[in-house]
Structure 1
Amino acid sequence: MYNPKLAYKIFIGLCVFLLFTSEKLKAQIVIGSPNLGFSQACASGTFNTYNTTFVFSPEEGLSSSNQFIIELSEADGDFTNAIAVFTSNPGAVTTSPATLDFSLPTTTAGENYRIRIKSSAPAATSSGSTAFAAYYKIQDSPFTINNLVSTGVYCSGGSYLLTIDNPGTGSNDSPLNYPSLTYKWYKETGPTTFVFVSDGSSLTVNEPGTFFVETNYGTCTSNSFSNRVTISEVTSGNSDAGISSSLGNPFCPSSEFTTLSTISGNSYQWFKDGNIIAQATTQMYQASESGNYAVQVDLGDCVAAGEIELISELFDASINVPEINTIEDGETLSIEVTTNANNPEFEWYLNDVLIATISEENYNISQFGIYKVIVTETSGCLGSREFVFELEEAFDAFPDVEKIPNVISPNGDGINDTWTIPMTYISGTNTEVMIITNAGKVVLQTNNYLNNWPENELNLNSINQVFYYMITTSNNETKKGSITVVK
């Protein structure tokens, strides 16, 4: 017999069962192991985006609030302390397969990282991906070691220490500024081959060879590597102290000088063309011209020496006058500059004031003063050379004076230094000139006076000593008087 109440109860129970089963199905999903969209992750400040693809099932098992999380393992692949590198927005991912992007933390460094996928609603976790190398290249530019000196020397039985420069030379981006980084040192075995030597920020070398260091980014390639340094063993006196020029050799002195560097030692002495350069006693010397430069380096147990024939590519130039020049008033002096500079420019100055009307290599001058000409090469190896010279009025030993002077001051100032008499009595007039001391001693007697007394320093016994003169002309006219010599 049909029982309506029983049928109703069975219907309600069936609905509850179906609802319970449906909710239970929604509460469970399975996430497949993620597939990598890359073979290794070599991240940097300019690139740090990677993707992974995964499947999950069933799609309808996701809650509307579900988020997918990408977790990154430790460097050995262990997920015990995994960190989340991506979290999707709630409900953003609803279809399978799904592809998500993520970025690496700046501390990432290792060869066996893995990732896995987790969901939040319902909670599920995939197995780990295949292992991959991952590094964040926080420093990715060349850097210097050994202060950019390309050679090093150690005494027999000793060693040489190579270190990464911090901060180093010029704009050197030292990796020591990033404490999390590690390093690997290598020794060259051929033009393109090398072998690993040691880890660390420094290397103690006790065998000859060429060495360099790279920041440890594992199998990831990078630009974070050092210059090469060639180390040699030396006994005292051997010429093994290499010298390098910062601007190369030949060098273009566009910045006025090149820095010569040698190996590290206890003390130094630099030479140019065989002569000691005073106070050039440091590891580096700034040179601005061509020449043979040498250095002696005291290494403690031995002494090393080195040399370089430095060649400057700056143009040659010369001028046809000495530093001091004289002309008579009204005369001119022709100045000629000779140079092999490319497209030269000429600037002339008088007493440090630019002469704007002259821009040629030749110049006729008549005004007294201090001149300067600057020759500038405007193409090729840019640079300038400077010449300074002076133009003075010629000294007139025989000025036409009217009277016989009775005071002179021979102090070397060019004024009234000698006893200058009228032209009627000087050389060529057959006039006798006699000068005697106040004690009657003759100090000058001549028929060819050149307005040059006193030629030598007088041993004066008073501040203003008096001498006496007597001038006798060819027709026996006589002039007498005194000469006071003022100190």
Structure 2
Amino acid sequence: MKQSNSTYSILVLAFAFMLLATQGVQAQVLYKPEPAANPNLGGNSPWTAVCASAGFNQYYVSFNWDPPLVASNNEFVLELSDANGYFSSPTELARVSDKNTTFDFKFQFALPSDIRGDNFKFRVRSTSPAKTSPASDAFSMYFIDYNSPLLISENGSGNIPAGGEIQICGGGSVTLKPHNIPNAGTYIYNWYRSGTLLAEKTESITVSESGMYYVELDYGDCSGSANTLSNTIEITTGSSSGLAINGTSNISICPGETHLLEANISGEGLTYKWYKDGSVVSGPTVDGNTFTVDAGTSGFEGSYKVEISGSGVCTEMSNPVTVSSSGSFDISLNNEENIVLLPAQTKTLSVSTTASNATYQWYKNNSAITDATSSSLEIDGIGEYYVKVTDNGGPCTPAPVASSKINVVAPNSFEFVVDYVGTYTSCESVDATLSLTQIYAVGNNGNKTDVTADLQNSFDYQWKFNGGDVSAETSKTITVSDQNGNGEYTLFGTIDAFEASSNKLQVKLASNETLQITANSTVLCEGGEAIVLESTLDLTDASFEWKKDGTVVDTSSTSLTVTGTGVYQLVITSNDCPLVSNEITISAFDESLLVLDKSKDLIIIEGETQTLTASGADSYEWYDAGNNLISSSSFYDFAEEGEYLLIAYFGTCTVSKVITVTYRDMFAIPNVITTNGDGINDLWVLPNTYSRDPNVLVTIFNERGEQVFSQAGYENNWPQSTTSFNKQSMIFYYKITRGGKSLKQGTITVIK
């Protein structure tokens, strides 16, 4: 039985190896890539961090792999992880197709300009067969897109103080921020105080402690080579002098009057600077502790502050004082700034005011209009209109206040603006709604006035499609829901003697048809049956494109024979819009697609069965050692030891596995035999695991270490005679090896 199985084993293994060879099974080993020295620079040390810039961006990675050879169309691809070292969406750095017989070579790559971080890894991927190397160690990688010294100032204003010093009084704080770097919020920063690195990493820093402050961009291990270290701002602190502006914090002044603002600290030779709404209005002036607000000056209202500085005092700014106009009131015209007046048309102008006892006078072209003294005015001519309002009941002497001006013009022509309503996307939406959004009156000088609110309900409308009228479409809005309506739309309108036309809008609606492509297989293997892609729609008279990985590969064949792995798709042009099919991914054949639920080397107990189940393939065939088909199921129940062959079919590809079944040993290696000729325990019998296996060598030594027996494929036949045993009890030593590797060793006691 054992000898017969050995014969079958050789036949089955030969058959399996022949199948494996025809299927192109790969066993390449890809090693993790390592940094390499730049051959274009002096020295031979590999890089330890990537510090790329626009001025230098050339790096090398060494890579090696073990045969067998890859396919002739294989490419090796160098990929970069994300900033956390993960490859869920890797970045391709380099790709080579001429290294398929070179087992040790270098990639050259340039770092993308958006890469910044300390935990980037890279790996190498082959395309045929599809294999991936282990990831490299983590490295700092930064593209230094800004490498000039930063400039910092208070709040990033750009005003660097003289001598680089900012003084803080009375426990206040100052915010420092760079002002000369674009997209400042996208960077990480290193802030320092008197040489000590601070915890803050943000664009700005708020400080209240004295010290020398400066900043640089945080480029990790590349920070030193980036040359971004900023200027230094010295922060000093001092006590507040209690500066304030005398009087109340809210002051009202009548028109034409003045008010004197006065600081509460004076006469000490100090320098004063007065501010209104944050801008300097007076100073710096020595002993200038007062400032006069003139209500006769336009825009005098606002928030006023004073700042003092000088020897022996802390530079300090007061709290604000608000100055407003007493007896002031608001005027609001209830009309647009520009009005279009059609022939024989009238308009009403009106005004609202907060004056308590108002009187009115309307003006046209700067001349008072007779008897136009109410809050509204009806007009029928073009010109420039405004109104003056006087409050006769306020606390101050009455003074008229003029409103803003309204221009009333006659139109020379009208223009329409139409636009898509809702979420319309060309060649994706199945309907589109177009509508009038604006009407402009165009004057003789070309100026345009929006008159949509006044005139949108006064026009007569007509939609046009490719220049022709669309029947019954005479409103401001049109909805297109048929691909036959794809084309150019415009809106025309008339009012009195005027005609108006709109801009042109293109409508391209998607087809409501569904395009599907099918394949007779999705796994491509060398020497297998051709994979053919076909369409569910008739392509005879259609304009179409077969695409592979987004690139057009065929525009004439109604079915496509696949020539390589990739993602395939069919696009048909229908009414100026593409009709896109589903995607079919064709992958390279890989024996790992076949999965066994147990080891292919089974050990069973004689008289029992063991079930081995395969998965992942389309169909299966199980053969015994005599090459007889014993099952076409996905599983087989093994009851006898021997060698079997499983062939799994993946479309036009196959994977073969040799299954070895052996009986479990039911006894251990004996350490005592009796050579008394009674037929019981006369021979040293080994378990099936070690006996009759041509790859297992059994060697026996006497007590002096001399070899007395050696046999591969041990036949349980030692000792072959008892004549050599001259003692009652003798000790022998044995060693069992396979391929030079020790499996078992021990002693045998022979009792005569």
Normalization by structure 2: what TM-score? 0.29
Answer 1 or 2: which has greater strand percent.
2
- More relative contact order, 1 or 2 (CA 8 Å, 6+ apart): 1
